[in-house]
């Protein structure tokens, strides 16, 4: 029993250190992309994730730490493996980090969502009428909760991961306040995002939300509106 407790403590230490390294690589890639690319409202979520992935995949620090990263990672559950559902229906998550420490497999998952403070316009895709389309902040706030927070809570996404917000317009503090207001409007005031000190590679804070069954979700906000 004592040995099992010790082993669990060691594994927990491995996981905490691995999470810190994954977050560190995310933040490092964010500052690189912000300095070398033009990220704005016209950028698709998948594009931003792609260039973050490309930097991390080629980053010497990833190699030094023995961390592999996979984009658009499929999450296969029993229903798929037992042929009850098509493998094509398996959900995808934006990024999966993977490494090994003393024969312990370590994984960490990232789901990202574009965020804006208020309704705005973006360039229309080719073939659509008009030059611009309206982007609804309301829809993106609901999406952050419905397919971000709630996908972690439902088990659709693994619990060992975080949510990342790509802020493309507006002020971060106002966007957080809006997400929290949307949670309160759903009678989920106890789940609001609270700011936490971070101090990782010049990013001074992240956010936590606490949910039923002692589930805690980390939220990392990457603000592309400021250089």
Q: With 0-12 CB in 10 A as exposed, 13-18 as middle and 19+ as buried, what is 155?
A: exposed
Residue 127 has pLDDT above 70, yes or no: no
- Every domain of the chain and the residues it spans: 2-223
Q: 204: which 2 tokens?
A: 């001074």
Residue 5 has pLDDT above 80, yes or no: no
Average pLDDT over residues 156-185: 97
Say what the pLDDT of residue 2 is: 45
Average pLDDT over residues 5-18: 82
pLDDT digits (tens, 9 = 90+) for 47-104: 999 999 999 999 999 999 999 999 999 999 888 898 889 999 999 999 999 999 888 8
Average pLDDT over residues 176-184: 98
Residue 121 C-alpha from the chain's centroid: 24
Is the CB of residue 217 less than 8 Å from the CB of residue 209?
yes
pLDDT digits (tens, 9 = 90+) for 130-168: 789 999 999 999 999 999 999 999 999 999 999 999 999
Q: 38: which 2 tokens?
A: 């033009």
Q: Residue 92: phi, psi to the nearest 5?
A: -115, 150
Say what the pLDDT of residue 1 is: 46
Rounded percentage of the chain residues whose pLDDT exceeds 90:
79
Q: Which of 78-87, 122-131, 164-173, 176-185 has the lowest mean pLDDT?
A: 122-131
Over the Cα atoms of the chain, what is R_g? Answer: 19
Cα 201 from Cα 203, distance rounded (Å): 6
Cα 40 from Cα 204, distance rounded (Å): 22
């Amino acid at each position: 029993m004592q040995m099992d407790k010790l082993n669990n403590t060691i594994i927990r230490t491995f996981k905490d250190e691995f999470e810190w390294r994954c977050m560190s690589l995310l933040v490092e890639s964010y500052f690189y992309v912000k300095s070398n690319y033009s990220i704005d409202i016209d950028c698709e979520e998948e594009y931003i994730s792609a260039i973050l992935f490309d930097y991390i995949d080629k980053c010497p620090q990833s190699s030094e730490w023995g961390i592999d990263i996979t984009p658009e990672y499929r999450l296969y559950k029993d229903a798929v493996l037992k042929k009850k559902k098509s493998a094509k229906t398996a959900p995808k998550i934006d990024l999966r980090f993977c490494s090994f420490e003393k024969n312990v497999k370590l994984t960490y998952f990232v789901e990202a969502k574009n965020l804006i403070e208020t309704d705005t316009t973006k360039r229309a895709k080719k073939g659509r009428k008009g030059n611009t389309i309206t982007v609804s902040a309301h829809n993106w706030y609901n999406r952050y909760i419905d397919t971000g927070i709630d996908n972690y809570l439902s088990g659709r996404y693994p619990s060992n991961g975080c949510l990342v917000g790509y802020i493309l317009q507006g002020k971060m503090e106002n966007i957080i306040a809006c997400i929290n207001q949307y949670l309160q409007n759903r009678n989920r005031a106890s789940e609001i995002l609270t700011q936490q000190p971070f101090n990782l590679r010049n990013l001074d804070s992240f956010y936590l939300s606490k949910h039923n069954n002692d589930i805690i979700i980390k939220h990392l906000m990457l603000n592309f509106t400021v250089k």
